[in-house]
Amino acid sequence: MAELILGQVLSFHGDPFIEGADAAKVETNGGVVMIGGEITATGPADQLRKDYPQAHVTDYGRALISAGFIDSHVHYPQTAMIASWGKRLIDWLNTYTFPEEMRFADPDYAAEIAARYFDLTLSNGTTSVCSYTTIHPESVDAFFNEAQKRGLRSYAGKTCMDRNAPKGLLDTPQSAYDDSKRLLEKWHGVDRLSYVITPRFSPTSTPEQLAAMGALWRDNPDCLMQTHLSEQPDEIEWVKQLHPQSRDYLDTYEAQGLLGMGAVYGHAIHLTEREIDRLAEVGASLVHCPTSNMFIGSGLFDMEGLVARGLRVGLATDTGGGSSFSMLRTMAAAYEVAQLRGTPLHPSQLWWLATQGSARALHAEKKIGNIAKGMEADVIVIDLASTPAIEQATRRAETIWQSVFPTIMMGDDRAIKAVYVGGQRR
């Protein structure tokens, strides 16, 4: 049976960073029809009622209907240690992250955390994620098993490290290649799952391991490749010491075949002009992680400058360096970072980053991240008056964006009225 949901329907027919807020359209008395896991029609509510008289109808009134949020850079194994007292990146990894990741050799623990992680993300309106795992194949299986069970479009890969980590978290260039290849062949393209080749970052991978991952990517170009880039100044200095032959941080990847279309680099705050030129030239993606960047004190991402250079930019919580599972909170942090740079972001741009922008960063913009005919039916319903503070602010609103912005800045999981995955309410 067709599922027809009614409300204020938000869709994008362009990029608000290029075309302004008019790139977004809000049908204030609209609807979305979902059949067989796809969006089959959108438009005015009255017309859709006539066209689909047998549909099951849910009227959400003045709530906002949107594509589900897409979190394009996360570490699901860090779920249990989120909001651990902050230090600089390297200390934080050694103190909290690596000890927690050691536990994922246990398949039962990995499965427990994967289930908890998806419970938390779905409750916050996130319907797709791109995650790092640990070096353990069990952590990859746990993630994909749970995502498959819930029918989610999800991305992940075995995190590869062969130096500068505890012994229990080290693999080798050969074992990283072999494990990744086996997991890729097992999971990539199954249902709505995609394998992502995942060297953690240059400080924890030798040139030999990076080259092995480059070889695997060369043989499987339909996969994405994800890693970290230029998150903190002291990290960059460390990379210079570890890779003295490289021109810059990006060159540590480029020299090993890990730069190209389909590369997704997290953070990318302190980039050189050469790095920006090369990233733009090859069409690589960057992911802005504002809550993490502020929590660990990494710096202020140059959204305006990098988007102006034509780079694909997504938005992400970076759980658990990021201090929230909520893409609403992440949008608010992105707004605050832009304000500190003197380049304010419009609410339409923030919402686009959390949906269509992140989909573009993952090369999935034709499948997810928008409300349009033929898109996969991952849809969320947002209560624009979910708390007294938000309600009193929206009551004064004169435009749809004045109604949406208080939820961006103050909203949390209470604002998520409904979540549909593949057209099914979860």
Task: Yes or no: say if 323 and 86 are a contact pair by the CB < 8 Å rule.
Answer: no
Question: Are residue 32 and residue 97 in the same domain, yes or no?
Answer: no
Predicted confidence (pLDDT) at residue 47 exceeds the cutoff of 70? yes
Question: Are residue 378 and residue 294 in the same domain, yes or no?
Answer: no
Question: Are residue 77 and residue 16 in the same domain, yes or no?
Answer: no
**pLDDT score of 77:** 95
Domain at 272, CATH number: 3.20.20.140
Write the DSSP symbol of residue 97.
I
Closest by Cα among 274, 290, 264 to 350: 290
Phi, psi (deg, nearest 5) at residue 104? -85, 5
Distances (CA, A) of 37 to 2, 74, 152, 368: 10, 25, 11, 12
Domain at 381, CATH number: 2.30.40.10
**pLDDT score of 94:** 80
What angle (nearest 5°) sits at the alpha carbon of residue 307, between those of residues 305 and 309? 75
Question: Are residue 194 and residue 288 in the same domain, yes or no?
Answer: yes
Question: Are residue 19 and residue 160 in the same domain, yes or no?
Answer: no
Question: Per residue in 141-179, pLDDT tens?
Answer: 999 999 999 999 999 999 999 999 999 999 999 999 999
**pLDDT score of 322:** 83
Phi, psi (deg, nearest 5) at residue 394? -70, -25
Question: Are residue 77 and residue 62 in the same domain, yes or no?
Answer: no
Question: Are residue 7 and residue 85 in the same domain, yes or no?
Answer: no
pLDDT, average across residues 232-256: 96
Question: Are residue 64 and residue 77 in the same domain, yes or no?
Answer: no
Predicted confidence (pLDDT) at residue 421 exceeds the cutoff of 80? yes
**Other C-beta atoms lying within 10 Å of the C-beta of residue 392:** 11
Question: Per residue in 364-378, pLDDT tens?
Answer: 999 999 999 999 999
SS3 56: strand
Residues in Cβ contact with 96 at an 8 Å cutoff, skipping those fewer than 6 apart: 78, 81, 84
Count the alpha carbons within 13 Å of 109 in the hemisphere toward its beta carbon. Answer: 14
pLDDT, average across residues 173-196: 98
What angle (nearest 5°) sits at the alpha carbon of residue 414, between those of residues 410 and 415? 65
Question: Are residue 285 and residue 204 in the same domain, yes or no?
Answer: yes
pLDDT, average across residues 47-57: 97
pLDDT, average across residues 328-332: 98
Measure the CA–CA gap between 246 and 202, rounded to whole angstroms.
11
**pLDDT score of 168:** 93
Question: Are residue 238 and residue 295 in the same domain, yes or no?
Answer: yes
Is the dihedral angle over the CA atoms 27, 28, 29, 32 positive or is it negative?
positive
The alpha-helical segments, DSSP class H, found in 124-232 are 137-150, 173-187, 207-219
pLDDT, average across residues 91-97: 82
**pLDDT score of 81:** 83
How buried is residue 185: exposed, middle or buried, by Cβ count under 10 Å (0-12/13-18/19+)? exposed
pLDDT, average across residues 30-52: 98
Distances (CA, A) of 281 to 26, 263, 359: 34, 12, 20
> Could you say which of 361, 378, 396 is where a domain stops?
361
**pLDDT score of 367:** 98
Which residue(s) pair with 224 in the sheet?
196
Predicted confidence (pLDDT) at residue 12 exceeds the cutoff of 70? yes
- Name the pTM for this structure: 0.97
Q: What percent of the chain has pLDDT over 90?
A: 93
pLDDT, average across residues 257-273: 98
**pLDDT score of 71:** 98
Question: Per residue in 287-311, pLDDT tens?
Answer: 999 999 998 899 999 999 999 999 9
Categorize the per-residue pLDDT at 86 as very low, low, confident or very high, splitting at 50, 70 and 90.
low
**pLDDT score of 34:** 98
Measure the CA–CA gap between 23 and 287, rounded to whole angstroms.
21
Task: Yes or no: say if 391 and 411 are a contact pair by the CB < 8 Å rule.
Answer: no
Question: Are residue 56 and residue 115 in the same domain, yes or no?
Answer: no
Token couple for 6: 């009614």
Task: Yes or no: say if 370 and 358 are a contact pair by the CB < 8 Å rule.
Answer: no
**pLDDT score of 85:** 79
Crossing angle of helices 137-150 and 107-123, rounded to 10°: 40
Mean pLDDT of the chain: 96
> Total domain count for the chain?
2
Measure the CA–CA gap between 421 and 68, rounded to whole angstroms.
8
Predicted confidence (pLDDT) at residue 96 exceeds the cutoff of 70? yes
Q: Which domain holds residue 42?
A: 3-68+370-425
> Could you say which of 335, 361, 387 is where a domain stops?
361
Closest by Cα among 194, 74, 200, 71 to 131: 74
pLDDT, average across residues 342-355: 98
> Could you say which of 311, 337, 361 is where a domain stops?
361
Question: Are residue 175 and residue 276 in the same domain, yes or no?
Answer: yes
Query: At 103, which helix (H) or strand (E)?
Result: none
Task: Yes or no: say if 370 and 359 are a contact pair by the CB < 8 Å rule.
Answer: yes
**pLDDT score of 91:** 79
